[in-house]
Structure 1
C-alpha cells in the first residue's frame, strides 16, 4: 500500500531510503524473503501506465512549451525525469571555485525512469585497475563475485545484445538486438576504416517477452519518457511496484530523510524524515537500514547522522566519507552526411537509444592516459523535438541554391520547408563516456552554513578534472573526427581544443557519479566492507553507486543492480544467523 506521511509506531524489518536501481532491487529481494519493508522516497509515486503520469506518444503541441524543458524537467517537458541539477529549496554549494553539477531525481524509480538504459557489466579489469595502472585502489571484490548476480539481473530484467567474446566487455544472457539503422551503417563504414569496432548495443528493453507482467517493445523510440507497457527497465515498474503487490512493502512518498537514527550501542534504529506535505518531522523504526538514495545523497545522510556515538556522522571517522567522488567523462561531436540528403521517409524509430556502440578497444599502456571510454552513436529520423527546425535551418549553408552558392539561414515559406526536409535525417553524432581516476581531493562535504528548505544541512562540492581525463577527452575528439571523416560526413562546429578541455563535460553532467562511501577491507580507508555494510554500524548498508571503488568505461546501473542483489542476499543471511 502507498501511505500518506504520518507518525507510526510500526517497526519494519528493513527501511530502504530511495527507490531507484539499488533501492528498488533491495525492496524486491528483501520483501520476497518475507521481510517487512518500508521504502522512503523523497519524490512522488510514478507509473507511466497511468494517464496522469503518461508522456509516451504525446506530440509536442500537447505541451505549452512544445516539449521544451523546465527546471524540474531539464531534458524536456515529456521526459520522465522529475528533478534536475537545480531544484527550488534544495540547494548545494561549491568550494574553491571548482564545479560539480549534482542531478537529483524526485520520483519513485529515480533516474531509472529516463536513463539511456545502456546496461553494461563491468569487466574483470574494471575491479582491479590499480593493479594494472597503479592509480587509485582495487575493489575488495572481483568480477567472479558479481557474475552470478549479473546473470540474475539479465534474466530478471532483460537486456538485448550479442555475444562477442571480449574479455573486459563480458557477455550476458541476451535478448535479440534490433537491427542497425541506416545512419549507424554509414557510421560503421567510417569506424571500420579506422579499425574501431562497432557492435550491437546492450540495452535493457524487451525485444522478446520474458514474463506476463511486462509488454514487449513496440519501437516508438521514446524510452526516455518511461514505457506504458513496461517494456523498458525502470525500477518503479519492474521492481518496487511488483514488490508492493507480492510482499509487505509500504511506500512513503514525499519524504525527505534527514538522518539514520541510532541507539547508544551505535546500532541503526531507523530513519528520521521531513514530510514535504506538512513540513513536520517523523521517525520510522527498523532492524536494518539500507541507503539507496544515490551516491551523494546517501553520503549526505550518513554525514548528517550525528550522535554521541558518531559525532562525525556514521562513517565519518574513516576520513573518506564523501571522498573519491567521481563521474564519467563525456565529450561529443557531430556531422552531417550529404549521402543522406533528401532520404526516403520511413519509420526507423527502433528503441530509445543506440542500436550499435563501440566498446573500449585500445591498450592504455600505449597511450598517454589511463582508463578508457565507450562511444554512443545518434542520428536518424525520429520525431523532431523542440528547436529541431532552427537547428536544421542553421545547416542550410551545406545546400546549394540554383546558382551553386551555399544557402543562408533565416529563410521562410515553401523553400525553407523543402530544405529542412532535405536535411532532416542526415545528421549524425557521437559521444564518449569514459572512466575517470578516483581522487581523494574530489569530494562532497556538509556545508556548515547552508540548509535546505527542510532544515537539513546541504552538500558542498570540490571537484577538478586531471590531465588523465583531459587527455582522454582529446583522444575522444580525434577519434570522433576520424570516424566522421571516414564516413563521408561534413563536420559540424569547431573542434574542441585545450581551451575547453577538449569539450570535456563538467563533472556531474553525465550523471554517473560514484564512490562517496566506497567499500574496502580497511576501515581506515573505506566506509563499507565488501558486502556494502558499514564498518561502524553493522546494520546499515548502502546499495547505490556510493560503494564503488572506481567507475569503469561503462554505465554504472547494471553494477548497482547486481551489487544490491548481492547485498540483499547477505542481509537475509545475516538476519537468519542473528548477526545483525
Structure 2
C-alpha cells in the first residue's frame, strides 16, 4: 500500500521483497480439481494450507530460516507464519475486511487494560473509505455498536446467504446474537472506475489514469475456485493484482525480489540512509540508499530488522531507546467447533454459488455486559462460519466417523452422500490484550542461512484470553444445539485446551508500538520513528492493541495515512 500511494504521488520508490516474484494472473490454477493435485491437494509441511494455496514459499516453517522458542510448554509457544513471495500474505489471507471501531482505538479508556492508540477512529475513517473503494469490499451497514458503517456508496452488495447461514441466523435470534453480511475483499460486481478513481486522487491525473485502468482489468467474481489459490481474473484483493501493477504503471516503482534485508543503516546525522540486504540468488551483500526508509516486513520481521540494526548510536537496536522494540507482540484469540446438522442431510446435488468465504458472520454483541463487568474477560470476539457443499478435497470426509461410528466400504460411500454438506464450522476470533510476557528478541546463538540472527519468541496468554476462548466454545455449542446439531469436536471448558497457539491465526501485530511519548512507544502517531525522523513502519507492527477485527484492512488504511504524511514531509523538505 505504501508503494502504491507514494508512487501515485510521484515519489521514486524501491521495493525490496524477501521472496520471489509472483504473478497470480499466470500462476493461479483456477480450474484444477483436487484430483489433479498430489495427495488430492492435502496440506504438507511445505504447503500447510494445501497444494493449491497461493503461498509458494512460506508457512510456519521456512527452510533455512529458523526461529526459536523460549519455552516448549503448551500454550507458551508462538507459531510464526511467513510468506516469502511478492505480495506476501495478501496472496493467502481470508479477505475478511472489518473496520476497528471507536472502542477499539481507546480500550484503556474503556476498561483500564492495555493502552490507548494515539489516534481515534475518526482519524482513520476516511482511509477506511478509500481503502475499501480501492480494493473492493462487499458488505452492509447495520448501525451496530462498535461495528462501524462505511460511507454511502463505498461497499459492494453482499452475496445472498447460504442455507446453513440462514439456519444459524435463525438459531441466533433467541440468543440475541446478530448475524449480518460479512465484509470480504471480493468483487461482487465490477468497480465503478470512473467514479472511484477521481474520488481517491483528486487533481492527480496520473494516479487517476493508472488506477482507472487497473480497475477496468478486474472482473467480478464468478464463484469458481477458492480465493486462497490467487485470482487470475483479479476479482479478489491481493496486492500483486490490485496495488503493485498500477504502482508500476506510474513508472515510479522499481522492485527487487529475493532481497533479504538485514538492517537499516543510519548516517552521522541520525537519519536512515538505506538498508543492507542479501541478494539470495548470489548470496552477496548489497546496499540500497534512500531519502526515507519504510519497513513493512510483518510485525515480527520488522522487529527483527530493527533489533539487528545496531550501531554506536543505537546499541540496543534501531529506534529502541524505549526498550519496546519487539515487545507487546499480539495475535488474535482463536477457538473453533464443528457440528453436523441433521436438517441438511441427503441434500440433492446443487450449485451452491458464492464467494470463497463467509456470506454472513456474527460481530461481538455483549459490549454492555462486558462494560458492566458481567463477563470474566475484558474484550470481545466475532464469529466466522463455514460449511456447505463445496468441492471436496482430501480430508473432506474425515468428520464422518463422528456421525457414523466408523463406516467403511459401501457404507462409507453412502454416508458421504448423506452427510456431506451438513457440517458447519464456527471459528471465534477475539481481541487479545497486550502483555509483557509476549515479545520477540534476537537469539544470540542462532542465525539463518543468510547469516542473519534469528528471533526467539516468548509467549503467554492471560486469563482474559483463556476465559474468552471458553466462552466461544460454549456459545458455539449453544448455537449448534438450537439447530438440533451434533457437535463433532470437543467443547472445551479449559481455556488452555480451547485456545489456539499464539501465531496460529496469523494476525501478527505489535512490536513497534505507536504512541504519544517517545519513552512509552517506538513510533509517533504517524508511524514515524521518534529517533530516526525519516524511518516509518507501515505493517501491523505499530498496532497498540489487537481488536477482534481482522487486521489487514486497518494495516492498509493506516499505511495509506502514513504515506500521505510521508508525502507531506517530502513537500515540506523535512525529509
In the alignment, which residue of structure 2 is the partner of 1:145? Answer: 123
Measured after TM superposition, the shift of residue 493 of structure 1 is 2.4
The one of 151, 165, 189 equivalent to 1:184 is 165
In the alignment, which residue of structure 2 is the partner of 1:195? Answer: 176
In the alignment, which residue of structure 1 is the partner of 2:15? Answer: 39
1:164-220 CA deviation, whole Å, 9 max, x = no partner? 011311111211000000111111121112221100010010011113121111012
Distance 1:518 1:95, change over 3 A: same
* Structure 1 position 49 matched with structure 2 position 21: no
The one of 382, 386, 392 equivalent to 2:394 is 386
1:320-361 CA deviation, whole Å, 9 max, x = no partner? 110011110000111101111101211114111000000000
State the alpha-carbon separation in 1 of the partners of residues 224 and 447 from structure 2: 43
State the alpha-carbon separation in 2 of the partners of residues 54 and 320 from structure 1: 40
State the alpha-carbon separation in 2 of the partners of residues 193 and 483 from structure 1: 10
- Tell me the C-alpha RMSD between the 2 structures: 1.2
In the alignment, which residue of structure 1 is the partner of 2:416? Answer: 420
In the alignment, which residue of structure 2 is the partner of 1:272? Answer: 276
Q: 1:4-403 maps to which residues of 2 (within 5 A)?
A: 25-50=1-26, 53-82=27-56, 83-97=58-72, 98-172=76-150, 173-210=154-191, 211-363=215-367, 364-365=370-371, 366-392=374-400, 394-397=401-404
Moved more, 261-270 or 198-207: 261-270
TM-score (norm 2): 0.92
State the alpha-carbon separation in 2 of the partners of residues 73 and 249 from structure 1: 31
The structure 1 segments of at least 4 consecutive aligned residues displaced by more than 4 Å after TM superposition are none
TM-score (norm 1): 0.92
State the alpha-carbon separation in 2 of the partners of residues 70 and 234 from structure 1: 23
* Structure 1 position 517 matched with structure 2 position 509: no
Measured after TM superposition, the shift of residue 396 of structure 1 is 4.6
Say if 1:306 and 1:313, in contact at 8 Å, map to a contact too: yes
State the alpha-carbon separation in 2 of the partners of residues 56 and 517 from structure 1: 38
State the alpha-carbon separation in 2 of the partners of residues 411 and 95 from structure 1: 45
Moved more, 367-376 or 215-224: 215-224
* Structure 1 position 506 matched with structure 2 position 480: no
Moved more, 207-216 or 504-513: 207-216
Measured after TM superposition, the shift of residue 497 of structure 1 is 2.6
State the alpha-carbon separation in 1 of the partners of residues 475 and 296 from structure 2: 37
Say if 2:388 and 2:422, in contact at 8 Å, map to a contact too: yes
The one of 556, 560, 564 equivalent to 2:559 is 564
Structure 1: tracts of 5 or more residues without a match: 1-24, 398-407
Measured after TM superposition, the shift of residue 502 of structure 1 is 4.4
State the alpha-carbon separation in 1 of the partners of residues 218 and 559 from structure 2: 22
Distance 1:391 1:167, change over 3 A: closer
1:416-439 CA deviation, whole Å, 9 max, x = no partner? 322211110000110100001001
Measured after TM superposition, the shift of residue 476 of structure 1 is 0.4
State the alpha-carbon separation in 2 of the partners of residues 298 and 260 from structure 1: 11
Measured after TM superposition, the shift of residue 410 of structure 1 is 4.3
Aligned-partner SS, 2:327: coil
Aligned-partner SS, 2:330: coil
